[in-house]
């Protein structure tokens, strides 16, 4: 709102020295006669008119004259106009001017800075617009008065601007020069003048500025007062007290303008104490106002947040600006250079109760793309030409400057583990402790993209990270790399479209891997065991990097990183079985296996125990101790298995085990189930339970002799690549005259002698294998033998080609189709099938098994 008051100096009204009052006649009768006698002949017409009027009151009244009456009427009108313009018009004109005045500034420029203020040039257009006046009577009277006056001129004056709500603090004083303006309605006058502006109460101005910066300035009432001499033409209107009041609120109060950081460059600089860091910044701001001036070089302090908002800010750098030219309604480019001489200790110390320092929090928000804040506080100017009042005014004003964060794209481009070694926990580790988790040792490789604005030397001397492991976008667990590990870095110069990078290498040892989602872990194991493709797991980490710069050593924390860990399937193959212990119902077997590891990872297994299951019945368990799996071929890995179905599963399990072994020696495609249990990894029951959810059904291992002396190149597969089963019977011969048969047997055991205690076998001949492929056919003869047959390992036989049994008696089925086929095949070979009940003995262990086989080539001899 705006109100203007004009107070004129009015002449004092004095009473006559003769004591005349309002009731006293202007002229007495006696006095009139004397006056007529003494008045000269050349009296004025007014006097004559007055005498005529008075004379008419007497009895001898003269005739009334019309010219005298008209003159009197005009005199009354003039008197009325004087009353109107002397008493009524000033108030009306004051209201008219307050509502009709319009000043449109077109330019405000600072001509020069002075020791006490600035000299400003003000340009604009002035006019009175009667349409802005709402009351018709004031509008008409104001237009009339301003039309008569036509123009006014002010003299030299001073205007003081103050703020009533701030204790009438003086903002400043403006020295106004003479200004002439036309004041008729809608007449535009161009105004152009120089004025000297002096700041008022510096402390009060700082308080207002801080309220504005902190957003506490809801409204602002500004009052300007000036004693200005006015005149219109040759008529002096005296000194007028002009009071202008304006209230700003809401959007009328300007906010801190938006800005755009066009350039940011960090570099090393020489300072008196050694080396420091400089930041060159270029900021573009749009000027929405018609002001034009040049800002001299200024000095600032750059501060950042402390641990708590209530703590004092931390001084980080000194900054100086170049000379800035501000043009009306144009973009303004400000260039500044900040210098960090050293990092204050309070900036790098951890905040109470946390592991983060103020520098960690500042850099963390910045590199994660979050907006952070620096604080700019005025300080001494670097130029001696800068007036002292400017630095005094700015010294205690702190402006928060939001700095948009930058993610730098993928700051860590590659994050990978090489030469990775997996280790299961020690069996004696306390469950629930970090030592009960699987452990990983590896070389960590990271490629860090250096931002283009970073033009200084930087070395990485240590790293650490907290990494989450994902499989198919689901979190598997957490890899704890929280301990600082020594690191080294190598700078790689920019090439092609890629900027410079920093190759960081470090080695971690025994980092715990915590399995957090058992379902995801189950899927990973299943994919490794049964899948046909490489299993790819993803690592997402937040990496802390210790760096060495010109400012010293400090850490940049929580840099996001991502990488992948491909894991290929393992290919185990059992190469040796050794029966190391037997009881009446159990076998303890040491198996040796070869595992080809196609990955670049290694593993250590201190202890693991696995159940051996068939058709839901527990037959025994296998235990591995201190296994070390390296890359490539791992030969001779030892696993101990205990086959004890009666002890661990009861009579039903023993029957299942007997059936399993019988099918196996008969060459059937048999499978067994390997399943973890809660005590598979004693130190980590959680991991054991997760693995127990994955029953792994595997083909029963092929127990062929390692070197078949008859077919060294035979891998035991048929032409389609399928396993033909164990080839225990290598050759057979039937003798017609002696009614006997001999067999060449290849023992699957390389260290133990297998004893056949009893044999009840029947041979069959199928004359139409095409029509009846599954039929055994007609019986040929029976073998009943109850003397023990000891079958040594192949290498223990005399010629190293297998064990030839003694002649076993054959009871022919005379007259049968099978026997007839045998006779016809004399001197040749005949394909026969067989069924047998076999009693076996291995050490103290005994069992009765069955055997069924087809397609056995038997030579027929006399």
Stretch 233-237: mean pLDDT: 66
Between 110 and 57, residue with greater pLDDT:
110
Count CA atoms closer than 13 A to 148's CA, side-chain side: 9
pLDDT for 713-731, tens place per residue? 544 444 443 444 446 788 8
CATH number at residue 662: 2.60.40
Query: Is 733's pLDDT higher than 80?
Result: yes
Residue 170 neighbours by CB under 8 Å, 6+ apart: 160, 161, 162, 200, 201, 204
Distance between CA atoms of residues 586 and 275, nearest Å:
78
Distance between CA atoms of residues 411 and 499, nearest Å:
11
Query: Is 184's pLDDT higher than 80?
Result: yes
Q: How many CB atoms lie within 10 A of CB 643?
A: 22
Looking at the fold, whether 187 and 233 belong to one and the same domain comes out as yes
Residue 727 neighbours by CB under 8 Å, 6+ apart: 667, 704, 708, 716, 746
Instruction: Flag whether 709 is in a domain.
Output: no
Looking at the fold, whether 665 and 737 belong to one and the same domain comes out as no
- The mean pLDDT value of the chain amounts to 77
Q: How many helices (H) and strands (E) does the chain have?
A: 13, 43
Instruction: Give the model's confidence band at 597: pLDDT under 50 very low, under 70 low, under 90 confident, else very high.
Output: confident
Stretch 439-459: mean pLDDT: 78
- Residue 850's pLDDT is 92
Tokens representing 784? 């009943």
Looking at the fold, whether 311 and 391 belong to one and the same domain comes out as yes
- Judge contact between 753 and 794, C-beta under 8 A: no
Residue pointed to by tokens 């003299």:
155
Query: Is 583's pLDDT higher than 90?
Result: yes
- Residue 3's pLDDT is 46
Instruction: Flag whether 5 is in a domain.
Output: no
Instruction: Flag whether 307 is in a domain.
Output: yes
- Residue 45's pLDDT is 42
- Residue 56's pLDDT is 45
**Three-state DSSP state, 143:** helix
Looking at the fold, whether 432 and 518 belong to one and the same domain comes out as yes
Name which of 371-380, 563-572, 730-739, 796-805 the model is least confident about: 563-572
Query: Is 103's pLDDT higher than 80?
Result: no
Taking CA atoms, 747 is separated from 227, 704, 762, 786, 825, in Å, by 127, 8, 22, 20, 29
567, 599, 622 — which closes off a domain? 567
Looking at the fold, whether 686 and 750 belong to one and the same domain comes out as no
441-466 CB burial, b ≥16 within 10 A, e <16: bbebbbbbbbbeebebebbbbbbbbe
Can you say whether the dihedral through the CA atoms of 610, 613, 618, 619 is positive or negative?
negative
Name which of 7-11, 125-129, 773-777 the model is least confident about: 7-11
- Residue 142's pLDDT is 81
Between 630 and 409, residue with greater pLDDT:
630
- Residue 71's pLDDT is 57
Looking at the fold, whether 675 and 628 belong to one and the same domain comes out as yes
Instruction: Give the model's confidence band at 849: pLDDT under 50 very low, under 70 low, under 90 confident, else very high.
Output: very high
Question: What letter would DSSP give residue 569?
Answer: P
Query: Is 33's pLDDT higher than 50?
Result: no
Looking at the fold, whether 495 and 583 belong to one and the same domain comes out as no
Stretch 745-768: mean pLDDT: 87
What pairs with residue 843 in β-bridges?
none
Stretch 435-448: mean pLDDT: 81
Tokens representing 191? 């105004």
- Residue 569's pLDDT is 65
**Three-state DSSP state, 348:** helix
Instruction: Flag whether 641 is in a domain.
Output: yes
pLDDT for 653-672, tens place per residue? 999 999 998 888 887 888 88
Looking at the fold, whether 101 and 161 belong to one and the same domain comes out as yes
C-alpha closest to that of 146 among 86, 80, 92, 78: 92
pLDDT for 382-412, tens place per residue? 666 677 777 777 777 788 888 776 655 566 7
Stretch 289-297: mean pLDDT: 81
Range of the domain at 443: 412-567
**Model confidence, pTM:** 0.53
- DSSP letters spanning 463-480: EEEEEEEEETTEEEEEEE
- Residue 87's pLDDT is 44
Distance between CA atoms of residues 542 and 553, nearest Å:
20
- DSSP letters spanning 22-84: TTS-SS-HHHHHHHHHHS-TT--HHHHHHHHHHHTTSTTPPPP-HHHHHHHHHHHHHHHHHHI
Instruction: Flag whether 384 is in a domain.
Output: yes
165-170 long-range contacts (CB < 8 A, ≥24 apart) are 165/220, 165/221, 166/204, 166/207, 166/208, 167/204, 169/200, 169/201, 169/204, 169/205, 169/207, 169/208, 170/200, 170/201, 170/204
Stretch 535-558: mean pLDDT: 81
Can you say whether the dihedral through the CA atoms of 19, 20, 22, 23 is positive or negative?
positive
**Three-state DSSP state, 842:** strand
Q: How many CB atoms lie within 10 A of CB 17?
A: 6
C-alpha closest to that of 240 among 7, 448, 413: 7
- Residue 838's pLDDT is 93
Query: Is 740's pLDDT higher than 90?
Result: yes
- Residue 516's pLDDT is 84
- DSSP letters spanning 367-404: HTT--EEEEEEEE--S-TTS-HHHHHHHTT-EEEEEE-
Looking at the fold, whether 154 and 100 belong to one and the same domain comes out as yes
Distance between CA atoms of residues 589 and 583, nearest Å:
12
- Residue 372's pLDDT is 83
- DSSP letters spanning 669-727: --EEEEE--TTSSTT-HHHHHHHHT--EEEEPPP---SS-SS-TT--SB-TTS-B----
Tokens representing 833? 């099938």
Which spans in 459-564 are helix H?
518-530
Distance between CA atoms of residues 67 and 728, nearest Å:
163
Looking at the fold, whether 288 and 347 belong to one and the same domain comes out as yes
Instruction: Give the model's confidence band at 738: pLDDT under 50 very low, under 70 low, under 90 confident, else very high.
Output: very high
**Helix or strand run (H / E) with residue 773:** none
Stretch 820-848: mean pLDDT: 91
Looking at the fold, whether 598 and 575 belong to one and the same domain comes out as yes
**Three-state DSSP state, 188:** coil
Name which of 541-550, 611-620, 755-764 the model is least confident about: 541-550
Instruction: Give the model's confidence band at 46: pLDDT under 50 very low, under 70 low, under 90 confident, else very high.
Output: very low
Residue pointed to by tokens 């009840």:
760
Instruction: Flag whether 416 is in a domain.
Output: yes
Per 3-state DSSP, the chain is made up of helix, strand and coil in percentages (nearest 5) of 20, 45, 35
Distance between CA atoms of residues 314 and 351, nearest Å:
13
- Residue 651's pLDDT is 92
- Residue 617's pLDDT is 92
Distance between CA atoms of residues 178 and 231, nearest Å:
11
Between 655 and 501, residue with greater pLDDT:
655
Tokens representing 303? 């501060």
382, 403, 424 — which closes off a domain? 403
What is the domain count for the chain? 5
Query: Is 698's pLDDT higher than 80?
Result: no
Q: What is the CA radius of gyration of the chain?
A: 56
Instruction: Give the model's confidence band at 28: pLDDT under 50 very low, under 70 low, under 90 confident, else very high.
Output: very low
Instruction: Flag whether 182 is in a domain.
Output: yes
Stretch 469-477: mean pLDDT: 88
- Judge contact between 544 and 718, C-beta under 8 A: no
Distance between CA atoms of residues 834 and 779, nearest Å:
9
- Residue 55's pLDDT is 46
Q: How many CB atoms lie within 10 A of CB 225?
A: 15
Name which of 147-151, 526-530, 581-585 the model is least confident about: 526-530
Looking at the fold, whether 754 and 628 belong to one and the same domain comes out as no
Ramachandran quadrant class, 643 (left: phi over 0; alpha: psi -120 to 50; beta: rest) = beta
Q: How many CB atoms lie within 10 A of CB 112?
A: 12
403, 430, 453 — which closes off a domain? 403
């Amino acid at each position: 709102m705006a109100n203007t008051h004009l107070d004129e100096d009015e002449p004092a009204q004095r009473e006559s020295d003769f004591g005349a009052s309002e009731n006293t006649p202007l002229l007495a009768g006696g006095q009139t006669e004397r006056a007529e006698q003494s008045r000269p002949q050349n009296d004025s017409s007014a006097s004559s008119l007055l005498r005529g009027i008075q004379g008419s009151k007497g009895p001898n009244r003269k005739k009334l004259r019309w010219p005298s009456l008209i003159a009197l009427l005009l005199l009354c009108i003039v008197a009325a106009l004087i009353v109107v313009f002397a008493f009524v018009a000033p108030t009306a004109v004051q209201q008219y001017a307050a509502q009709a005045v319009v000043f449109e500034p077109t330019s405000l420029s600072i001509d020069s800075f002075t020791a006490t203020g600035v000299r400003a040039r003000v340009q604009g257009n002035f006019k009175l617009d009667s349409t802005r006046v709402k009351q018709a009577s004031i509008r008409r009277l104001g237009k009339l008065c301003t039309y008569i006056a036509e123009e006014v001129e002010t003299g030299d004056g001073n205007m003081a601007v103050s703020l009533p709500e701030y204790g009438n603090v003086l903002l400043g004083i403006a020295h106004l020069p003479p200004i002439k303006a036309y004041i008729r309605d809608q007449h535009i006058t161009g105004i152009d003048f120089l004025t000297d502006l002096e700041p008022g109460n510096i402390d009060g101005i700082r308080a207002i500025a801080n309220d504005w910066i902190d957003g506490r300035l809801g409204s602002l009432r500004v009052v300007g007062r000036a004693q200005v001499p006015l005149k219109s033409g040759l008529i002096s209107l005296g000194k007028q007290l002009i009071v202008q009041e304006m209230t700003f609120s809401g959007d009328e109060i300007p906010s801190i303008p938006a800005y755009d950081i066009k350039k940011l460059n960090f570099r090393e600089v020489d300072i008196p104490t050694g080396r420091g860091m400089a930041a060159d910044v270029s900021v573009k701001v749009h000027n929405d106002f018609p002001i034009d001036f040049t800002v001299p070089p200024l000095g600032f302090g750059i501060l950042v947040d402390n641990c708590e908002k209530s703590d004092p800010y931390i001084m980080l750098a000194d900054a100086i600006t170049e000379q800035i030219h501000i043009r009306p309604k144009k973009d303004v480019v400000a260039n500044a250079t900040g210098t960090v001489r050293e990092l204050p200790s309070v900036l790098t110390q951890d905040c109470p109760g946390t592991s983060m320092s103020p520098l960690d929090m500042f850099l963390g928000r910045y590199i994660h793309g979050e907006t952070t804040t620096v604080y700019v506080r005025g300080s001494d100017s670097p130029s001696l030409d800068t007036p002292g009042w400017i630095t005094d005014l700015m010294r205690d004003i702190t402006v928060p400057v939001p700095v948009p964060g930058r993610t730098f794209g993928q700051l860590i481009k590659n994050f990978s583990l090489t030469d990775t070694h997996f280790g299961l926990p020690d069996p004696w580790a306390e469950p629930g402790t970090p030592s009960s988790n699987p452990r990983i040792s590896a070389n960590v490789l990271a490629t860090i993209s250096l931002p283009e604005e970073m033009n200084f030397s930087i070395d990485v001397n240590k790293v650490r990270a907290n990494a989450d492991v994902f499989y198919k976008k689901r979190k598997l667990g957490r890899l704890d790399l929280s301990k600082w590990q020594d690191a080294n870095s190598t700078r790689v110069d920019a090439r092609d479209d890629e900027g410079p990078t920093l190759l960081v290498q470090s080695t971690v040892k025994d980092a715990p891997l915590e399995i957090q989602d058992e379902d995801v872990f189950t899927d990973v194991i299943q994919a490794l065991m049964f899948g046909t493709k490489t299993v790819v797991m993803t690592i997402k980490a937040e990496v802390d990097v210790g760096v060495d710069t010109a400012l010293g050593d400090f850490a940049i924390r929580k840099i996001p990183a991502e990488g992948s860990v491909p894991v290929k399937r393992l290919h185990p193959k059992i190469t040796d079985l050794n029966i190391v212990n037997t009881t009446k119902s159990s076998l303890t077997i040491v198996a040796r296996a070869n595992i080809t590891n196609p990955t670049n990872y290694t593993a250590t297994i201190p202890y693991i125990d696995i159940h051996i299951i068939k058709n839901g019945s527990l037959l025994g368990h296998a235990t591995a101790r201190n296994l070390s799996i390296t890359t490539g071929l791992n030969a001779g890995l030892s696993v101990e298995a205990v086959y004890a179905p009666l002890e661990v599963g009861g009579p039903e399990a023993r029957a299942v085990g007997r059936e399993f072994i019988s099918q196996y020696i008969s060459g059937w495609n048999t499978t067994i189930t390997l399943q973890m249990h809660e005590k598979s990894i004693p130190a980590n029951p959680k991991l054991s339970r997760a693995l127990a959810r994955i029953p792994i059904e595997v083909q029963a291992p092929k127990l062929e002799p390692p070197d078949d002396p008859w077919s060294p190149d035979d891998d035991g597969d048929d032409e389609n690549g399928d396993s033909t089963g164990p080839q225990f019977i290598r050759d057979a011969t039937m003798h017609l005259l002696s009614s006997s048969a001999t067999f060449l047997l290849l023992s699957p055991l390389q260290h133990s002698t297998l004893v056949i205690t009893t044999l009840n076998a029947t041979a069959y001949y199928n004359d139409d294998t095409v029509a009846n492929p599954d039929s055994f056919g007609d019986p040929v003869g029976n073998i009943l033998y109850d003397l023990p047959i000891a079958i040594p390992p192949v290498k223990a036989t005399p010629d190293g080609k297998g064990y030839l049994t003694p002649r076993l008696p054959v009871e022919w089925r005379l007259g049968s189709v099978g026997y007839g086929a045998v006779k016809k095949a004399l001197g040749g070979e005949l394909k026969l099938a067989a069924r047998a009940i076999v009693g076996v003995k291995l050490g103290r262990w005994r069992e009765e098994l069955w055997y069924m086989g087809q397609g056995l080539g038997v030579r027929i001899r006399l």
